[in-house]
Amino acid sequence: MLPDLYAEAGLVPAARVRWNDDYSPAGWDYDNFRAFNHGRRDVVFLADDPDRVGGGYPRGL
């Protein structure tokens, strides 16, 4: 999904924080994203790494 596309462009995970319902966007539909940790995906911050263009997304980071 999106992390795989970002990895192809050379973006790598730099940090990850757990979802916090207090900061969810207005109107966030948890049911619409239920397949992804019950609508509560981690928030992942990405950094550009030109040496990783075409690379894969490292799972579990």
Give me the residue label for tokens 């970002």.
6
Domain span including residue 32? 2-52
Q: Report pTM.
A: 0.66
Mention every residue, 6+ apart, whose C-beta is less than 8 A from residue 13.
Answer: 3, 44, 45, 46, 47, 57, 58, 61
Q: What pLDDT score does 36 carry?
A: 86
CB 3: neighbour CB atoms within 10 A? 17
Q: What pLDDT score does 57 carry?
A: 66
pLDDT tens, position by position, 9-59: 888 888 989 999 999 999 999 999 999 899 998 888 999 988 878 776 666
Asked whether the predicted pLDDT for residue 7 surpasses 60, the reply is yes
Q: What pLDDT score does 59 carry?
A: 66
Whether 58 is covered by a domain: the verdict is no
Whether 59 is covered by a domain: the verdict is no
Whether 60 is covered by a domain: the verdict is no
Under 8 Å between Cβ of 11 and 46? yes
Number of domains in the chain: 1
Q: What pLDDT score does 1 carry?
A: 65
